[in-house]
């Protein structure tokens, strides 16, 4: 399900995203260059995933046990009203269109909780996470445009205390 969120909540979260990128010398963990796509590179629970940039309330983000595949997943758990994004610029891609697949669990009830990908903040394709507290749901963002060999992936949440989301196994594939 691809959706475009309109309104002040979605706009305020998207404005938080700015050029980030990978940090360090981590190796890509999928065939299309996403670093730490399954959140296994830390090899332990961690406060911030290797290869990803966190903007906003950093206490919301962690790597936790209980991944879809492998041991770990990205966890977003607000303890107060917040807007936070976790993002990565994937480079070295062939220009064209891609799909971004991933697995997610979510409590639901967030103002917005989404995964987006694209060439720039104004050209992002987005999907909102469905409520699914017990079952991992495979989710796809289609029609992701890559120009100049770069794709920005943004995982965002705007919410209050008591909600959560888990993301795992991101896979960017040329269509």
For residue 65, is pLDDT > 70? yes
Convert the pLDDT of each residue in 70-105 to its tens digit: 999 999 999 888 899 999 999 999 999 999 999 999
Question: What tokens appear for 121 in the block?
Answer: 């903040």
Convert the pLDDT of each residue in 139-168 to its tens digit: 999 999 999 999 999 999 999 889 999 999
- The CA–CA distances, whole Å, from 66 to 51, 69, 128, 133 equal 20, 8, 21, 13
Residue-level pLDDT at 32: 65
Residue-level pLDDT at 31: 57
Average pLDDT, the chain: 85
Please report, rounded to a whole number, the percentage of residues in the chain having pLDDT higher than 90. 74
For residue 7, is pLDDT > 70? no
Q: Are 115 and 154 spatial neighbours (Cβ–Cβ below 8 Å)?
A: yes
Convert the pLDDT of each residue in 8-32 to its tens digit: 333 223 323 222 333 344 555 455 6
Residue 33's pLDDT band, with cuts at 50, 70 and 90, is confident
Question: What tokens appear for 86 in the block?
Answer: 């976790």
Which of 73, 13, 15, 20 is closest to 42 using CA atoms? 73
pTM (2 d.p.): 0.83
For residue 1, is pLDDT > 90? no
Residue-level pLDDT at 27: 53
Which of 126, 52, 139 is closest to 89 using CA atoms? 52
Residue-level pLDDT at 161: 87
Residue-level pLDDT at 4: 36
């Amino acid at each position: 399900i691809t959706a475009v969120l309109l309104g002040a909540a979605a706009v305020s979260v998207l404005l938080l995203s700015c050029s980030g990128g990978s940090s360090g010398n981590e190796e890509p963990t999928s065939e299309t260059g996403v670093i730490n796509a399954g959140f296994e590179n830390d090899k332990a629970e961690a406060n911030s995933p290797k290869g990803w940039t966190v903007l906003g309330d950093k206490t919301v983000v962690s790597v936790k046990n209980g991944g879809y595949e492998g041991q770990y997943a990205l966890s977003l758990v607000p303890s107060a009203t917040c807007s936070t994004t976790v993002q990565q610029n994937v480079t070295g891609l062939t220009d064209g269109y891609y799909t971004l697949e991933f697995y997610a669990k979510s409590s639901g009830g967030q103002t917005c909780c989404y995964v987006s990908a694209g060439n720039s903040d104004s050209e992002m394709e987005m999907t909102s996470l469905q409520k699914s507290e017990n079952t991992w749901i495979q989710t796809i963002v289609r029609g992701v445009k890559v120009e100049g060999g770069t794709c920005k992936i943004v995982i965002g949440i705007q919410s209050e205390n008591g909600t959560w989301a888990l993301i795992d196994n991101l896979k960017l594939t040329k269509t």
